[in-house]
Amino acid sequence: MGTARTSPVATLLPSGLVLVTGGYNSDGSLESAELYDPATGTWTPTGSMSVRRSSHTATLLPSGFVLVVGGVFFGQGGQTAELYDPTTGSWSLTGSLHASPHGHTATLLPNGKVLVAGGLGGRSPELYDPASGSWTVTPKMIVQRFQHTATLLPNGTVLVVGGRESFHGRPISSAEVYDPETDTWTPANSLSKILGLNRAILLPDGTVLAEGAAREGTGWSKFAELYDQASGTWSLTGSPNGGDGQLTLLLNGIVLGEGGVDFFQARDDSQLYDPASGTWSVTRNLQSHRGDHTATLLADGKVLVAGGKGSDE
């Protein structure tokens, strides 16, 4: 990339280009953004955001615009949100949140609105309406969360799981579900073993694969669990062995997990999860150690891994 970035956000655009925004490096948080073209394998700079952001969110809207929210930590502009226009490469501010979220989640709902929930500074979840460019506060979650996961389920509800109570707070194993139709939160069954869940992904059969760690004796071990929406229950599946990197659903239905940070060290190992057998297997290592990076499934089935700790690539 043109700029080394840790904790950036990557968004696949309708054109097939990948927009990478923000993050941080030795210069601090970044307002710059750049585009990756899979056809040429090249990076080019694009318009910069109005403020420096890391641990923000970027959501592709049905219009093709990208909504970027939050990620400003102890700085001005944390309540701002902005839109990226792929046709012009420019950014424009859109409404102001009622809080300044950092380490939150953003979920595109079936009705076209975006649910922004949790994170440091996120007192109550908020809904963004692209039609009006406005934000409205929704009921508070049952548990305040930071660095949790949010997964849109096939029935249109949002499953929110894990996270921490605060920046240095205890890990959380509980889960809850947001229903856009009723604008309500209801408790869901807690993870059976994992604490402080760090990644989750929706599988083709409608179940949610979650991967994280749990204490065993005096140490920590990796575990994976499946959430069944019909029964609302969690069950252990396979034995992963990796860091807290990204999960990517490949075109063949297999899930790729690569890199991550383990005891403050970036990793280069990768693994594959097969939903059909419920097993994990080792695959080839990354060429660089990476943590807090991005992983984006491209139109041709390849996965673009960019940025993160341990590498400038």
Q: From CA 1, how far away is CA 42, in angstroms rounded?
A: 8
What are the φ and ψ backbone dihedral angles of 117, each rounded to 5 degrees? -135, 140
Judged against a pLDDT cut of 50, whether residue 3 lies above it is answered with yes
Q: From CA 292, how far away is CA 197, in angstroms rounded?
A: 15
Structure tokens at 18: 């990948």
Mean pLDDT, the chain, rounded, equals 92
Residues 6 or more apart in contact with residue 132 via CB below 8 angstroms: none
Structure tokens at 284: 């080839």
The pLDDT tens digits of the residues spanning 63-97 come to: 999 999 999 877 778 899 999 999 999 999 999 99
Q: Which of 54-68, 93-107, 162-176, 287-301 has the lowest mean pLDDT?
A: 162-176
Q: Average pLDDT of 175-200?
A: 92
The pLDDT tens digits of the residues spanning 34-44 come to: 999 999 999 99
Instruction: State percent of the chain over pLDDT 70.
Output: 97
At residue 263 the predicted structure's pLDDT band, cuts being 50, 70 and 90, is low
Judged against a pLDDT cut of 60, whether residue 311 lies above it is answered with no
Contact 50, 82 (CB under 8 A): yes
Judged against a pLDDT cut of 50, whether residue 313 lies above it is answered with no
What SS3 class is residue 27? coil
Q: Which of 157, 58, 171, 51 is nearest to 105 (CA)?
A: 58
Contact 175, 151 (CB under 8 A): no
The pLDDT tens digits of the residues spanning 104-125 come to: 999 999 999 999 999 887 778 9
Instruction: State percent of the chain over pLDDT 90.
Output: 71
Q: Which of 143-147, 250-254, 260-264 has the lowest mean pLDDT?
A: 260-264
Residue 312: per-residue pLDDT: 42
CA-to-CA dists, residue 158 to 6, 144, 161, angstroms: 27, 16, 10
Q: From CA 67, how far away is CA 184, in angstroms rounded?
A: 24
- The more confidently predicted of residues 212 and 298 is 298
Q: Average pLDDT of 39-66?
A: 96
Residue 260: per-residue pLDDT: 77
The pLDDT tens digits of the residues spanning 208-246 come to: 999 988 877 777 788 999 999 999 999 999 888 876 788
Q: From CA 199, how far away is CA 150, in angstroms rounded?
A: 9
What are the φ and ψ backbone dihedral angles of 22, each rounded to 5 degrees? 60, -145
Judged against a pLDDT cut of 90, whether residue 24 lies above it is answered with yes
Q: From CA 249, how far away is CA 256, in angstroms rounded?
A: 6
Q: From CA 263, how far away is CA 83, in angstroms rounded?
A: 36
Q: Average pLDDT of 158-175?
A: 89
